[in-house]
Amino acid sequence: MKVASGYDADGDGQEDTLEVAGAADGVVRKSAVSGSGNSLIFDLTGEEASGDAVTLAEAQNVYITSYADESDITFTVTGLDASGTSISETITGKDTGVATGIKLFSKITEIKASAATETQGVEIGLTSFYLDVDGDQMADTLESGNFQQDLNGDGDYTDTGEYQIALAADMTVDEIFCVKNDANGDGDFTDAGDTPCYQIFDGHEIRPVYEVKDLNSTDANNPTIDIVIEVEQLEFTDGKMKLVSESETEVTFSLADGISENVVHEVRILQTRL
C-alpha cells in the first residue's frame, strides 16, 4: 500500500509510514550544475536511467540529497504520473540533508535547478512510502479492504494495540510479495534460520529465467544445471537490491575447455547457481 510520507492513519500523532528507498543516485549521480538556462539541467545518468530518462513500472517519489546548503535552490522535476499525464513538481533543496517530493512519477524526463548548485553536488534518487501502523518496519497489507490488527483473536479491534482502518482515498494499492523460508523443513517459520516473511515490493521489471544444463552429464540424478535470472531491479524491505554488474557477458564455452569468446552487452543481469 503506497501512501504519502508522514501519513498518520490511526490519528495517534505518530508517523505511520515505512520508507523503501532506492539508491540515492539512482536518477542523478552526484553532480553539480552552474550557469543558466539549459546548463542547469541535470544529466539523468543514474542506474535507473536509460536514454537520459527514467521509466518505472510503479510510480515513485523523487528524493534529493544535498551535501552543502542548497536550501535556496529549487529543483523542478518533469515527467509523467501513473496514468501517463504530464506532471511537474518543484522540490526545495536542504541544507546538507534529504528533500523528498510528494508527487509520484512513472517517468522522469528532466530535472532542472533554479540556480547554480554548490560544488559539492547533489544526488537524486527514488523512494516509496508504505503504511506501517504497528511500527514493525514491514508494510501493512489490506485484509477485506481494511488495515486491521486483532492481537487476541477475539474478533474485534477495540482492545489495547488493536485497530481497524478503512482504505483512504489517497492510498494506492501496490503489489507486495511475502517470501517465506522454512530452513529446516518442519512446516513452520518460527525456528532459528527461518524467515517468517521477507517483503519484496513491486519489481520494476522481471525478465526471463534461463536454465543452462550440461548435456554431457551422465548422472541423470545429479545433473549440472545453472539458473540465470535476468533482473532489471527489485525493491526489498530494506531498500533496492543493487546488482553487482551492470553489463551482461555473452560467452561461448564448454565445460571441458571453459570460455572461448567473451562479448559484453550493456544490460543488467543477476546470476545464481542452484
Higher pLDDT, 30 or 262: 30
- Determine the Cα angle at 112 with ends 110 and 113, to 5°: 165
Band of residue 232 on the pLDDT scale cut at 50, 70, 90 = low
Q: Is the pLDDT of residue 168 over 60?
A: yes
Q: Does residue 2 contact residue 20 with C-beta atoms inside 8 Å?
A: no
CA dist list (Å): 240 to 6, 8, 56, 179, 247: 21, 25, 14, 15, 18
The pLDDT tens digits of the residues spanning 13-29 come to 888 999 988 889 999 99
- Copy the grid coordinates of residue 131: 503504511
Q: Provide the β-strand partners of residue 225.
A: 213
Nearest to 102 by CA among 239, 240, 9, 3: 3
Q: Residues 215, 220, 224, 225: is their CA dihedral positive or negative? A: positive
Check residue 234 and give its pLDDT.
55
Report pTM: 0.68
Q: Residues 126, 132, 138, 140: is their CA dihedral positive or negative? A: negative
Domains in the chain: boundaries:
17-130, 203-272
Compute the distance between CA of residue 147 and CA of residue 141 in angstroms, rounded to an integer: 7
